[in-house]
Amino acid sequence: MDPRDFLQAPSDAELMALGECWGVPGDDLLDTGRAWVQALGASDALGPRLVEFKDRVLAVYPESGQPQHRWTERFLGVRGFIDTRLATTPKRPTQLLHDTDHELVADFHQRCPASDLAAAKPRVGGDTILASAVMADDHIAAMCSLLPTPAGPPEVSVLTTPQDRGTGCATAAEKAVLIGAARLGIAIVQHRTIAQDAPSILLSQRCGFRLLTLEHIVKPLPAS
């Protein structure tokens, strides 16, 4: 699956929100003739990135001055936004989770592979804005948390146990969080993943996210 097939052109409002994520003035992103922009504020990732939009590529650099273009890629990220007012009702029953559900969440984490937890670890308590789950008997089948980011809109973190994949549980949990975010007055939520994670990309599409960017997180090479 090529995530480029899902890319959509961002609106002006989405470009302004992307600027918040990257620490870039929104007006710089509205100028479609730019080949690169400088990040002046806090960013949600360290170092430079090359951003693929649907119709252009933009270099985002934290350093001042004309960027050099010799680099090696660290990983390829995928970013989608959703207007929470457009979130749709989940087709499965969901349950809001609270700070008192730590043991339930800990049991859920124990039933998920370590490799999955390294990519996404939804949680309750601390800085969690809200969390929702789909239950299977007395345990969590899928869970989604809405978490703050260092810069830009909050993002979802969603996870399903291996035996509950393909059942719609993750979709329901994520949709419930999006509806809850709208009730809290949070206008935009983001879903981030990596290009190799096809199930996560497809999940974002089922939940109504607009895939806006592919972000090549890069490491500049020393000048020769």
**Could you tell me the CATH number of the domain that includes residue 179?**
3.40.630.30
**pLDDT tens sequence across 131-155:** 999 999 999 999 999 999 999 999 9
CA distance 78 to 195: 6
Between the alpha carbon of residue 95 and those of residues 55, 90, 129, the distances in Å are 40, 11, 15
Domain that holds residue 68: 3-81+212-220
Judge whether residue 102 has pLDDT over 70: yes
Mean pLDDT value of segment 29-51: 87
Cβ-Cβ contacts under 8 Å for 185 (sequence gap 6 or more):
none
Does 173 share its domain with 89?
yes
Span 84-112, average pLDDT: 97
In a domain, 204, yes or no: no
- Statement: residue 66 has pLDDT above 60: no
What is the spatial distance between Cα 209 and Cα 1, in angstroms, rounded to a whole number? 17
Are 137 and 118 part of one and the same domain? yes
- pLDDT score recorded for residue 112: 97
pLDDT band at 45 (very low <50, low <70, confident <90, very high): confident
Residues 60 and 97 reside in one and the same domain: no
70, 148: one domain? no
SS3 content of the chain, % helix, strand, coil (to 5): 30, 30, 40
Strands 36-38 and 57-61 turn out to be parallel
**Do residue 75 and residue 111 come from a single domain?**
no
List the structure tokens of 25: 């003035």
pTM recorded for the entire structure: 0.92
Look at residue 110 and tell me if it is in a domain: yes
Same-domain pairing of 28 and 45: yes
Give yes or no for a contact between 89 and 98, defined as CB atoms under 8 angstroms apart.
Answer: no
Does residue 70 carry a pLDDT above 80?
no
Instruction: Give 143's strand partners.
Output: 133, 159
Residue 11 lies in a domain: yes
